[in-house]
Structure formats: structure tokens, C-alpha cells
């Protein structure tokens, strides 16, 4: 297996280099990938590292049979897909508990007005009377979650512990517990005006891009908040910044952005009521160990001609 390892993923190498199932070769650049990919049957690459150059290099690798991504999202692979005879698998579900925990953390921080409390702490201001009116409990609050994959299910399960009323939107309008109320996406316009919070846990696809735009934000209550742990382009960031600045939305907790890292001149940095984190949702959990385990299992399946786990359809 050839692995295109970015600086943030190099810690995976130890587990892969010690493998008795695969011969792992780590590369550090697109040029090195091009040089060493010949003869590789499998490639490990992050969605962000899969650009047009990497796509062309991997398509030219005649021995390549399998690409394993290090993330759930595979939008770059979808826009510039590999050869049809190459199987693509993702890391879906491995980081779901951590990402869901991050989503709930952002929601709690917004609900308890923690950003403003920290601002007051820095200047030594005991602002109880000023802060108290904006503090909310999640109990009985109407939470709308877009997406009911591994992350969405974990979000619904965790929010049940806070006695929140969770509505989940799916393409089919169907799904299993823990969510009790599941509706199709056609109901989005009807449920947004009732939501105290909207959580985005969707992958990026043509039908999800911009799913929260100017029209959808206008439907939300001015006391509502938005949390995005899915993909940045799910949200029209210009419209969101305007809604926050003009007081049409109470706050936003964002872990993902249309372009990362977020530009220093993005208005989101200074919007009132925002809490921004630099794509940390999947960190701190057991996902990395499980990813190495998945790679080993899929390598063994490939060797024995068995179906791989987490296969994605990208065409």
C-alpha cells in the first residue's frame, strides 16, 4: 500500500509500518507519490490531499485496485473519480462518536452563552445580570438534525440525555431509533421555523451543497442557533455572516468551512454569537486506531478476494 500522508496523519504510520498484512510506503509529496505509486495495489489518501494531480497519478497506476480515504467525506474523489475498476472505501462511522460529541459541545456552549462569559472573564466583569437572559437549557428544546448517518445517530442519542426534542431529516423520511421523529428533507421549510437549533451532519453532495442558504436562514427564529460539523459548503457562509451580524440568528458553532483554513478576512471570525473550531470534530476519539484496524481488515479481504468494508459509490 502506498500512503499519501499529510503532516496531520503521519501518526498513523507506526501502526501501518508494523503491519504483517500490508507493505506500507509513506510518501510526503505529490512528486513522491508519482515516483513510488507504480506497482501499488492500494492507496491511502485524505480527501483534502486528493487533488487533480493526485487523481491523475492514481489513475495511471495500473496495479491499483483499492483507495482507502482517511475521512468520511469523499467529495474530491466524487468530483474527479478514479478508474472504474478501483474500489473506494472511506472512514465512515469511525469518528462518529467524537464528531457528535463536538456537535453537542458547540450546541451547549451556544445555549449557555459561554463565548460571552469568557469575554467577560478576560476583563474581570461579573456580568450575571447581563448574561443570564441569553442562557438556555436544552431540555424541551426543538433540535433539528440534518443527516442521520453514523454522526447523526450519535447526535440524536446524546441529545436524548438532555431531554431535547430531536427531529431528524433524511432523504427517505425513515430511520431507526434513537430518533423518534424522522421526516424527509422536503419538510425542511416547515420545521426550520420551529427549531431552536439546527445541526448539520451531512456529507457534501450536489443535493446538499448550500442546503442552508439565505432563504433557509430567513426561516429560522432570531433566537435559534446553527451548528455545522458536516462539510463547510453545506452553508452559504456569506448569508450566515449577514444573518448573525444583523441579529436574524442568535449564534453559530462551526467546525467546518467552505475553504480551510478559514481565511483571516472571513467575517465569520468577528460575527456575534459565533464559536469557531478548526475542524477538530473527529479528534480525541478512537477513530485513528479503528482506521488502522479497518485498513488491515480490508487489506486481508482484498488479498482473499472478499468484499471490502465501507465501500462508497462515487459515480
Active site residues: 231, 260, 279
What is d(CA 211, CA 140) in angstroms, rounded to the nearest whole number? 26
Which residue intervals of 89-149 are DSSP H helices? 96-111, 114-122, 128-131
Angle 64-68-69 (CA atoms, 0-180°, nearest 5)? Answer: 130
Cell 478576560 -> residue: 122
What is d(CA 284, CA 261) in angstroms, rounded to the nearest whole number? 20
φ/ψ (deg, to 5) at 218: -65, -25
The answer to whether residues 164 and 138 touch, using CB atoms and an 8 Å cutoff, is: yes
The answer to whether residues 167 and 181 touch, using CB atoms and an 8 Å cutoff, is: yes
Cell 424522522 -> residue: 182
Neighbours of 75 (CB within 10 A): 20
- Size (the chain), residues: 315
**Helix (H) / strand (E) containing 4:** strand 2-4
Amino acid at each position: 500500500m502506498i500512503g499519501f500522508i499529510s503532516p496531520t496523519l503521519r501518526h498513523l504510520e507506526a501502526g501501518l509500518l508494523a503491519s504483517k498484512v500490508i507493505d506500507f510506503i509513506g510518501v510526503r509529496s505529490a512528486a513522491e507519490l508519482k515516483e513510488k505509486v507504480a506497482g501499488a495495489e492500494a492507496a491511502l489518501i485524505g480527501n483534502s490531499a486528493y487533488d487533480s494531480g493526485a487523481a491523475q497519478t492514481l489513475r495511471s497506476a495500473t496495479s491499483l485496485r483499492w483507495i482507502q480515504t482517511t475521512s468520511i467525506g469523499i467529495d474530491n474523489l466524487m468530483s474527479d473519480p478514479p478508474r472504474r475498476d478501483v474500489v473506494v472505501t472511506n472512514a465512515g462511522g469511525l469518528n462518529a462518536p467524537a464528531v457528535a460529541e463536538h456537535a453537542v459541545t458547540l450546541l451547549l456552549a451556544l445555549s449557555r452563552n459561554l463565548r460571552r462569559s469568557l469575554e467577560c472573564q478576560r476583563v474581570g466583569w461579573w456580568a450575571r445580570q447581563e448574561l443570564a437572559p441569553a442562557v438556555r437549557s436544552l431540555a424541551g428544546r426543538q433540535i433539528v438534525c440534518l443527516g442521520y448517518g453514523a454522526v447523526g445517530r450519535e447526535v440524536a442519542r446524546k441529545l436524548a440525555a438532555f431531554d431535547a426534542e430531536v427531529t431528524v431529516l433524511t432523504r427517505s423520511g425513515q430511520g431507526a431509533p434513537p430518533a423518534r421523529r424522522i421526516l424527509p428533507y422536503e419538510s425542511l421549510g416547515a420545521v426550520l421555523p420551529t427549531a431552536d437549533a439546527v445541526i448539520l451532519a451531512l456529507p457534501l453532495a450536489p443535493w446538499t451543497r448550500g442546503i442552508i442558504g439565505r432563504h433557509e436562514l430567513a426561516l429560522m427564529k432570531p433566537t435559534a442557533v446553527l451548528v455545522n460539523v458536516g462539510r463547510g459548503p453545506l452553508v452559504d457562509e456569506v448569508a450566515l455572516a449577514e444573518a448573525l451580524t444583523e441579529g436574524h440568528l442568535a449564534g453559530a458553532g462551526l467546525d467546518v468551512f467552505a475553504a480551510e483554513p478559514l481565511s483571516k478576512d472571513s467575517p465569520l471570525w468577528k460575527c456575534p454569537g459565533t464559536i469557531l473550531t478548526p475542524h477538530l470534530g473527529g479528534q480525541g476519539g478512537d477513530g485513528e486506531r479503528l482506521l488502522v484496524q479497518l485498513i488491515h481488515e480490508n487489506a486481508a479481504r482484498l488479498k482473499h478476494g472478499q468484499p471490502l468494508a465501507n465501500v462508497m459509490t462515487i459515480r
